[in-house]
Amino acid sequence: MRATIQDVAREAGVSVATVSRAMRGMTHVAEDTRRRVLETAQRLGYAPHFGASSLAGGTTGMIGLVAPYFHIWYASQVLTGVEHVLSASSRDLVIFAGDTPENRARFLDRLPSLVTRIDGLILVDFFPNEDELRALRESGLALVAVGEELPGVASISIDNFEGAYRATNHLIDMGHTNIALGGGRQLSLDASPVLALRIDGYRAALEDAGLKPRVEYDLGGLLSSTGGRAAIDELLDLAEPPTAIFFLSDEMAMGGLAQARRRGLHVPSELSVVGFDDHNMAEAAGLTTIRQRVRELGVLAAQRMVAFADQDREGSHELVPVELVVRHTTSGPH
C-alpha cells in the first residue's frame, strides 16, 4: 500500500540505513547518493511512518500546549504565536484544555502517557499547586510556562505589576485621587498569580502617591464584560463614587464603558477608564489601556521550547515589557 523505507531502499539500490540517513539530512552520505534517494522517495510518494519513527527514535516532534480555554482572547493569541514558531521549525502542536477541574485532573492523570506522545509541554496560565507541579516535573517533559513564574521551570510572562502600576499612575498623573479597581474583589488570588500582581501594582502606585486604597473601591468579580457592567452598577451606588476606574482586563473595561454610558455617565469627563490587554476591540472602543504583546509571549515560549532540543534546559524567567496606550477614555477629574 503505502511506500515504506524498504521500497525506497530497493528502488534506489541502497540499504534502508542509507535512506534513513539521507532523508534526515544526516552526515556520512555521498551527495549523489542522497540525491538519488530523495528523488526516489519523491517518486514513490514516500513519507516516514510517524509511529515507527517515534518508536525507534524516541522522539515525536510534537509539542503540547495546555491552556484553560482557547476561546478567550489571551489564550488564542498565545496559541497563534506558538503555532507560528513551531510550524516554521516543522514541529506539530497538540492542544489540551484544562478548563474544568475534572479536565485538569484528567490531563494530569494522562501525563505519563503523554511522554511518548509529545516532546515538550507549554503551560499557559496553568497555575499548578505543589502536587501538580511535582507531577509535571516527574513526567520528564521539557516544560515552558507562559504567564507565570514557576520555580525551576523556564517561564515567560508580561510585567503585570508594572502594567498595573503604570495604568494607575496615569490616572494619578491626571489628577485623580479616588481610583477604583474593576475586578479587585477576587475570590481566590492563589488561583491567579497574574491578577495578584496586577492588584499589587495598583496598590503600589496608590501608595507611592500617598493615596490609600479603599476597600469599597474594589468592584465587581469576573473579568468579562458582564463583570464590567456589574462593577459600574456597584460604583454608582457608592456614597463617594470614584472619578476613575482601572479595570483588570479590557473585556471588563469595555463592558463597564458601555454600561457607564448607558447609565448616563459621560466618559471621560465624569469617569476615566483604563483597561489592561489591548484587546483587538480596544482601539475601536477608544479605550486607554495597557498593551501586552501576548502573541510575542507565545513566540518566545515556542522558541524556548525549540532551544530545549539543543540541550539548553535552564529554568530562567523572562519578562516581556508592557506599554501604556492612551486613547480617549481618560482625562482629568471633573
Q: Could you list the residues that contact its own copies (CB under 8 A)?
A: 2, 45, 47-56, 60, 62, 69-73, 75-77, 79-80, 83-84, 87, 92-97, 103, 106, 112-113, 115-117, 225, 228-229, 251, 254-255, 257-259, 262, 280-281, 283-286, 295
Q: What single string gives the DSSP state of each residue in 12-48?
A: HTS-HHHHHHHHTT-SS--HHHHHHHHHHHHHHT---
Q: How far is the CB of 124 from its own copies (least distance, A)?
A: 13
Q: Strand pairing of 323-325 and 288-291?
A: antiparallel
**The length of the chain, given as a count of residues:** 334
Task: Classify 68 as helix, strand or coil.
Answer: coil
Question: 83 or 148: whose CB is closer to its own copies?
Answer: 83
Distance from C-alpha of 319 to C-alpha of 230, rounded to nearest angstrom: 32
Q: How far is the CB of 64 from its own copies (least distance, A)?
A: 9
Q: Where are the beta strands (DSSP E) in 147-224?
A: 154-158, 179-182, 218-219
Q: How far is the CB of 60 from its own copies (least distance, A)?
A: 7
Enumerate residues 11-50 that contact DNA by CB under 7 A. 13-18, 20-21, 23-24, 27-31, 33, 46-49
The stretch among 1-9, 122-130, 147-155, 182-190 that binds DNA (CB under 7 A) is: 1-9
Q: Look at residue 70 and give the partner it binds from its own copies, DNA, none, a contact being a CB closer than 5 to 8 Å depending on partner kind.
A: its own copies
Instruction: Provide CB contacts within 8 A for 22, sequence distance 6+.
Output: 14, 29, 33, 34, 37, 38
Alpha carbons within 13 A on the beta-carbon side of 220: 29
Question: 33 or 76: whose CB is closer to its own copies?
Answer: 76
H or E stretch at 323: strand 323-325
Question: 33 or 178: whose CB is closer to DNA?
Answer: 33
Q: Look at residue 17 and give the partner it binds from DNA, its own copies, none, a contact being a CB closer than 5 to 8 Å depending on partner kind.
A: DNA
The CB density around residue 17, as the number of other CB atoms within 10 Å, is: 11
Which residue, chain included where needed, has cell 509539542? 63
Q: Look at residue 251 and give the partner it binds from DNA, its own copies, none, a contact being a CB closer than 5 to 8 Å depending on partner kind.
A: its own copies
Question: 45 or 210: whose CB is closer to its own copies?
Answer: 45
Q: Does 140 bind DNA (CB under 7 A)?
A: no
Select from 56, 88, 191, 281 the one that contacts DNA (CB under 7 A). 56
Question: 79 or 206: whose CB is closer to its own copies?
Answer: 79
What's the maximum distance between 2 C-alpha atoms anywhere in the chain? 88
Distance from C-alpha of 193 to C-alpha of 265, rounded to nearest angstrom: 33
Q: How far is the CB of 122 from DNA (least distance, A)?
A: 24
Give the interface with DNA as residue ranges (CB under 7 A): 1-2, 4-6, 13-18, 20-21, 23-24, 27-31, 33, 46-49, 52-53, 55-58
